[in-house]
Structure 1
């Protein structure tokens, strides 16, 4: 697999680097892989030397406050059912899809808890497990739902569609990247798909090895019929070794990701830890990433696109990604504070296209642009007179920087 690891300091390093191409995504939109070509990006006017831009005439829109909590209240019914009582085997070979779904369907209208004991439960991800409102899917620490190998371009192991008050906790979800077959491509095999649902709490779970994204939070429908996901909380979620993204966020409102990790994404572009990509389908607004690790991905740590509004990164780590720590291609009202964006192959932060109203404050953004150093056998901690940490396009506006630690020169 060819990694994106272009150099950023000399023309000789560009000779084997192709311009990044547009990549068609899940809803038929085109996702530019890492933005624009490196050669074009180097022709931009670097504004990094202006360490603090005084914007005394600009009034920043206020962010909504205190809507997030690490332990949201979820209304779950009192009934408790065990999937073993409905025929689920958990032996790693039997198709347990229908048995687990039967347990869910047996809950009363008031919902309840579905207990999944230790074991590996094979799931036909072309159907997936569909959760209902007021339902908790509780996996024992030694329990995993594992996708049966398929050749589909799109699947989901667990889906939460058009539901409210849903909790998913414990154990793990495993995709089929090592048992997927056929040559029809595709990149939309999800571990957990949360769409058009409200008040969903996912915590203390690992999602890995998916053909596409570990998790998707977004909407169903389009135009006036589009219904976004709202009030979704992820706490202590580990998403790793997924093929396309650790997680994608499409149209949604109030998404809180805390104490979580999205690492080791590799296989098909964009290969980011998290990609917030609502595009023309709608808006992704009021999103908060806190104490979360977006490192070691073959693409960017975090990738942002148009129709993203009111995004906060607080105490986020993005290191050793083969793209940017954070690539911003058109969102507005972004706050990045107290975060560490270091040792990425490209810039720590790239504010591109028409990104506007961004605050970068009290961050450590240093020793980035590592592709060139690796290519020339130099220490990534070498001093450089060339900007390597923060890049701001001339079309990006209303950018404020203060108290950031960048690479020494």
Structure 2
């Protein structure tokens, strides 16, 4: 594995860093002010659309898709340092580049499993940034850490599927631009193979029987920039049989295909969030005084900053190794490393951001700095895409098999 970025990656890094400095970071406060003045908190602030237009103009668009037919054609290893940069402003940068979850994973699924008609109707407008989407998997009434628990039913009736169930924390569903749900449910609830009971169907938001019931907060934050997180009820929603994604019984496998890249993308952005935390920590330490000397001369601050730098460098190397393995031996071959980064990265970044909050005092928990919101996002990723304990269980079993 070569630790140097290749020429294309380095060129894109320089352009993206310039874009962040010239456009994204100055827009953070503007976006907050515009959102406060809008009638709906879920409407997209005008400055975000300006950022999207500028990103497209500069060729910084759909960088996450490895298929050159749809995106930039970058490998995971090439995309990793770019995703890290966007993590420094997770509220704006991923959306500006059309690289924000959950749309990224949904576009990957449509590109890989969608029919030509499905790609024409839904993938193309998603690639253009004209609509948003949501992935409806998590449910409040079952332990969603075990995806085979899903209670939503997808029942075939003639030329239609009837979808019935209750979902929550469905990211993107509060956005007025959300037009399509990818819904996971059971088409064969009594099947012998619990991993072949599930399927996925495409359910347009305006389908009768679909109710976006309420917004779900995350540590009190509504996460407007990702289209919020909603409780959604499907009450006998009917869609054509042609809306099936892939094949009946393939839902579990499709979900796993989606979650592998999703997990590493989150970890890439988390490293950028940690870098933002360290930057704010260092600036604050040099600006503030306590007990007669700058905070930067207090011993405990040295420990926080040094530990953060060591952890970031460790995490970055592990994420880059994982990206390289995904490119060279595939997601299955990188299974252990994908789980390792999913366990290690959110934990470490939560600690780094917590130290940054502590250094900022009351300011750290306020809306005047991004740290509290960054902390909430990082802490949530210890649950999203599978809680730590599920990954630890799977990874440990694989490790034990080597000695059994």
TM-score tier after normalising by the smaller chain length:
under 0.3
More helix, by proportion: 2
Determine which structure has greater relative contact order: mean sequence separation of CA pairs < 8 Å that are 6+ residues apart, divided by chain length. Answer: 2
The two structures have a TM-score, normalised by structure 2, of: 0.21
More strand, by proportion: 1
